[in-house]
Structure 1
Amino acid sequence: MKFSEIPKQKWLVWISLGTLGLGILTVLITVVAPLGYRLNLWGYRTGFTILRTMVPVWLYIAGIAAVITAVIGFLAKKWQMENMTRLVELGAAGVLISLSAWYMPQTYLEPDGDPYPSIHDISTDTVNPPEFVAVLPLRADADNGVEYGVSRDMNPRLLVELTKKAYPDLLEPVVLDVSPDTAFDRAMNAVNELGWDVVDANRAAGRIEATESTFWFGFDDDIVIRLTPTSSGIKLDARSVSRVGKGDVGINAKRLRAFFDTL
């Protein structure tokens, strides 16, 4: 039995296509939020507001699409429609796309019951954090400063406490039993392998500064690596600081972990 022979059942085709189109629309809106920020059409807070407002909607849409797909499958099978599988595939695609639209913002939005502390400055040395030098001009218009623990609703002691609680593994000293030049080269190799943009590599000062942009919104975060000779070898400390945002959803800590793992 073909669709052309059953005009009254053609609406199932349109419903399947509509489910798919709805899924595609959710993805487009999800992409538009950060794209608008990148194109200077609105601020990042507006982009976040769009996503926070729409994210719950995606789940409802996915649920509705799933129900519709189930109904389509049931009716298509009942009416012995030849294109039953294709109809169900279209509906299922709409469900999966809607779920993808819901999932994507979860990678950079602070969820309810956020497991990450609301901080944006992570340093492996909380007593004497590595200092930025070459990066400073690039942060002239940044919302966040680079003075450790000095920001809205924050102080150095609280920042240390939150860092110790959330990322105790990053506070373990990393010492390489190699020459200063070898340690510097290994650090530079890790930075290059991670794809960071090197701002300054000062071998004499034992300092490397770099930036990395986040994927969706393109936020620029800055990193400084400090190499210090000790009796046990070369001690490496690293610090990663966001230019915007009160919290970083764990991005800076993940970045430093990636560096030391690559090292």
Structure 2
Amino acid sequence: MKRVLIASGQRGLMSNLDMVLKHWGYRPLSSSHRDDICGLLQATDPELVIFDAPWLRKHASDLLHLVPQMEQQATRLAVLDDCKEVLPHLSACLPYQKIPSDIFSLYGLTQAVLQNHPRRRLRTGVHLPGMLRRDGRPWDLTQIQTLGTGGMFIRSGYRLHHSETLRLCVPLFGMKEELEALGRVVYEIHPTMENNYMQGYGIEFTSLSAQSRQSLSRFVAGCFVRELEHPHPQSQPRFQAFSNARRIDYSLDAFAL
């Protein structure tokens, strides 16, 4: 299990990072204390170290004696920072990646650093009804299995073709909105014994308005929080109305279960 070391003085942020990283299959090691972080850096050789910006500004000088070890191990560093202020560098050989403190940016970071075949965008299980329309044909009902900010995976009773363009309609329950978008088929999964006879199509969104993208991000964040609350699919409400979807804040130090 890949280890992620978290250094932060914000208790709520650390708790949320721990919860999210465990959900994604990583082993988080977190502390606000300088001595704990130094000890963990010496003893564990984590695959990724995440600082929050205030902690790094306060304790960067306390980490300097560990720089040779981190350089030798090529430790990957990241800083959560929503500001544009200058941050201290530990070493020219230890660049850090600066990212906003939100779920989507954290997902992109962990995928890029920790996965051999990274996904570009967060997606989550939804099990929603939806509608699709092929060129020159009437609307068809489909089932949306997973949904993300970049696309979705659907089951369809109709044979779709690679790169086929579709018009899509997705109900955003709890937000009193419907997402309308254009998409294209990017892959197909054929049912086999190995994949438990799963069948469907991966759809990439090719056209979304700025407002639709914002609404989709909030809805996906709401679905993700539900997934954290109900980690086993059979325990998730099938069509839960996200009555608080408009108020979902997907910053890591703000959302709470």
Which TM-score band (shorter chain)?
under 0.3
Taking structure 2 as the reference length, the TM-score comes to: 0.26
The structure with the greater share of residues assigned to strand is 2
The structure with the greater share of residues assigned to helix is 1
Instruction: Flag the structure with more relative contact order, 1 or 2, with Cα contacts below 8 A and sequence separation at least 6.
Output: 1
Which structure: larger Rg? 1
